[in-house]
Amino acid sequence: MAATLCEAGELTRQNGPVKGIFYQPWQSDLTLTRLDWEQRMVRLHENGLDTLYLQWLKYGEIDFLNAHLQKDGLFIQVLLDAAAQQGIGIYIGLFSDPEYFHSLNLSTAELDKYLFKLREKTLHIAVKFQARYGKHPAFQGWYLPEEIDDLNWQSAPRRKLLNTHIRLLGQALKSLGQKKPVAFSAFFSGALSPEAFAQFCQQLLEETDSYVLVQDGLGGRMDIPTTRRYHESLRRIVSKQDRLCWIMELFNDELPGPAFKGKAVEANEFNERFAVVHKSFMGKRLALFSLRYWLDGNARLSKHYRQHFFNTVGKETLKAPR
């Protein structure tokens, strides 16, 4: 794969309707090499993507902050360096608890205690990352891995807990220095109507200064007509549109029930899901989920996108972070 580097320290500007993509690290990814990651970042840059959402630094006991690639040093150092070479910024996901959704069944009082402990774990790993990589040019912001659903936060006491949790985390993260932006995701399952869910997102945005990325649900929970109604309500009701973003899912869940097995969508499904997104959500307000599906099958979705949705922008150059 040929890099799009021009002269040293310069990158050709790439232009397309999508700027962000998610990446969930798994232990199997530690077999990748530095060259693998450099090639992946070149691919993302060639697709015009300039923002990577790293979903977590620690998943349960699996610690990616301190994990080493089998051959090429610390995983997170390699990831950051490869991203910086292509002018890509990374939102750093923090601690993800595999028991998070199960814990939402706790009583409100017990949930309050759980969220306090979750904040402690999240901030513990954030402090360590900040100390080592806080000035790295690829470090763009923070991402909170706990996904906000429309079922478990409907009562006033629970919404107060949630708002407090997100607000305190945001304040603590910004107090670490540089005041990097904070983002988290939310999703609809039909527990709230499109209008009620949009009002919920509006409330979340009013209570914090974080960014909310809404999952389109088309990977398994929703159909296109239903998702379109939620999308339209979000556009109509939420006033803080500059902090509301959309996540386009690139997979289908092949297993019924709670088990999950994702498979990358076909090109025609990509086109259908992209057609749901209003032009106002393009660019920085649109992210793909996820890198694994984007590069699956010899990067067929990446190639399809570049062929059918991509516009080049002359020979203007951008300074790459050094």
pLDDT tens for each residue of 54-112 = 999 999 999 999 999 999 999 999 999 999 999 999 999 999 999 999 999 999 999 99
Q: Is the peptide bond before 175 cis (omega within 30 degrees of 0)?
A: no
Strand partners, 148: 186
Closest CA to 176 of 123, 237, 213: 123
Cβ contact 53:22 at 8 Å: yes
Q: What is the DSSP string of 41-76?
A: HHHHHHTT--EEEE--SEETTEESSS-B-SSSSBHH
pTM over 0.85: yes
Cβ contact 265:252 at 8 Å: yes
Angle between helices 194-207 and 156-174 (to 10 degrees): 40
Residue 313 tokens read as 């922008």
Distance CA 277, CA 298 (A): 26
Instruction: Tell me the pLDDT tens digit for each residue of 11-69.
Output: 666 789 999 999 999 999 999 999 999 999 999 999 999 999 999 999 999 999 999 99
Alpha carbons within 13 angstroms on the beta-carbon side of residue 121 total 22
Q: Looking at residue 11, what is its pLDDT?
A: 62
Distance CA 1, CA 303 (A): 12
Residue 175 belongs to domain with CATH number: 3.20.20.80
- Give the structural domain span for 305: 14-313
How many domains in the chain? 1
The answer to the question of residue 285 being in a domain is yes
Q: How far is CA 195 from CA 74, 130, 148, 236, in A?
A: 45, 39, 17, 9
The answer to the question of residue 322 being in a domain is no
